[in-house]
Structure 1
């Protein structure tokens, strides 16, 4: 299922590159989710440099479907590349523990939780939101609970170090919380990184991971996987 999700993300990214209006229309727009109405005309918002026109495009007949479509869409090669790398690294272990179909449902659940968190932060925002990072954050949250002692190889100050997953993922969520707090109220109308979605998805993953762990008698296996990050 992890491979299937990666393939689906890549295929949809290819479709986006050929259809720019599809990206606008099928992304999550918080105001559309709150009102249930599809915005098709450009919207004017106030940014740091003054008024900004935000283009819009027709979306699906049932506008709430964008909650699902947006979690398979991306804004660029770097965006999809980073997300798919994280999904590849952490997804297979969590999928093995949940099983393919339960993993798919969990992935979608995490994506929904991420969207709810982002919409709650800026319900009047007309900025398109897209990306798999919310759902993948859920996968990372579950990984933290299920495989906390797994060794993860990271590049730190140009040296390879092997650290427990709990340290790597703990640092990651700490950075999301710190960065998210610093941007509260700044990007709901002007765009930026959706830290609230990352945090919401991660929390959903932790909850699901705890639930799965309670139902399991066997302790998670300790397996090592390579994960490369560059710090400093």
Structure 2
């Protein structure tokens, strides 16, 4: 429904963890059997795709039923995507919103937060769908937690987005409006109210739980604190006053230039 492309919210350092996560997700996708399968794969290729998704995806009934490992699938599933649109949509949101959350959290803290939030949102989906036997894949739960943290930390940041239903008209709106709209669009009940058909292939509960988790974590652990990318203690000393330097006087400026 909305496509964010940029936010006016500078950072104080390069978001190397966010970039690293994007590179890792893209690399895993390109090395898997789905990236170049084409729109109509044959039966053998389809079987390889399904085996790949079931091997690396998180299967709710197995996570809660004690079959197989209950730990590693929730982490491997975060780096597996079911198609190009699935991958690119997730990476776009991570690219736009992840850098500022990383800047506020710190790199190691942000990475741990991302991984644990993704795992917890996967378990939340499994608890809500304990008998589901299909694989849950994608970084959506972890990225939803990043969006929730961003919504709390930077609600007034200006986000430029495109609206497909208005011929991709660019608009700049506050982050709370963009992310709030994204959140309610993850609720199947709201989708039905406005006449948008929800997809049974999308783990909306993982999105909702990840967003709420990220927002609560940012509110309870991080706090908004000072705004802006640079934090200083107290007031900075005033710069020294400017003094005239007549030694560099210019014929057109007989009173000289001001220098420090």
What TM-score do you get using the length of structure 2 for normalisation? 0.68
Return closer, same or farther for 1:120/1:87 CA change in 2, 3 Å cut-off: same
Q: CA deviation at 1:178?
A: 3.9
Query: How many residue pairs end up in the alignment?
Result: 190
Q: CA deviation at 1:113?
A: 2.2
Moved over 6 A (4+): none
User: Residue in 2 aligned with 1:160?
Assistant: 170
- Please give the per-residue CA displacement for 1:88-124, whole angstroms capped at 9, x wherever unaligned: 0000110011111100011012102211221011101
Distance 1:211 1:165 in 2: 20
User: Residue in 1 aligned with 2:61?
Assistant: 31
Q: Which runs of 5+ in 2 are unaligned?
A: 1-16, 35-47, 193-198, 230-260
Distance 1:180 1:28 in 2: 27
2:101 to 94, 103, 113: 94
Matched, 1:149 2:156: yes
Q: CA deviation at 1:22?
A: 2.9
Contact 1:127/1:191 (<8 A) preserved = no
Contact 1:73/1:131 (<8 A) preserved = yes
- What are the equivalent positions in structure 2 for 1:116-131 lying under 5 Å apart? 116-131=123-138
Distance 1:63 1:169 in 2: 31
- Cα RMSD of the aligned pairs, angstroms, is 2.0
User: Residue in 2 aligned with 1:103?
Assistant: 110
User: Residue in 1 aligned with 2:37?
Assistant: none
User: Residue in 1 aligned with 2:209?
Assistant: 200
User: Residue in 2 aligned with 1:9?
Assistant: 25
User: Residue in 2 aligned with 1:78?
Assistant: 85
Return closer, same or farther for 1:126/1:180 CA change in 2, 3 Å cut-off: farther
Distance 2:66 2:228 in 1: 43
- Please give the per-residue CA displacement for 1:57-109, whole angstroms capped at 9, x wherever unaligned: xxxxx342101100111000110011011100000110011111100011012
Contact 1:13/1:74 (<8 A) preserved = yes
- Please give the per-residue CA displacement for 1:164-197, whole angstroms capped at 9, x wherever unaligned: 0000001110111245886xxxxxxx95110000
Distance 1:132 1:25 in 2: 16
Q: Which runs of 5+ in 1 are unaligned?
A: 39-61, 183-189, 222-232
> Is the partner of 1:124 in helix, strand or coil?
coil
Q: CA deviation at 1:26?
A: 1.5
What TM-score do you get using the length of structure 1 for normalisation? 0.76
Q: CA deviation at 1:11?
A: 1.4
> Is the partner of 1:162 in helix, strand or coil?
strand
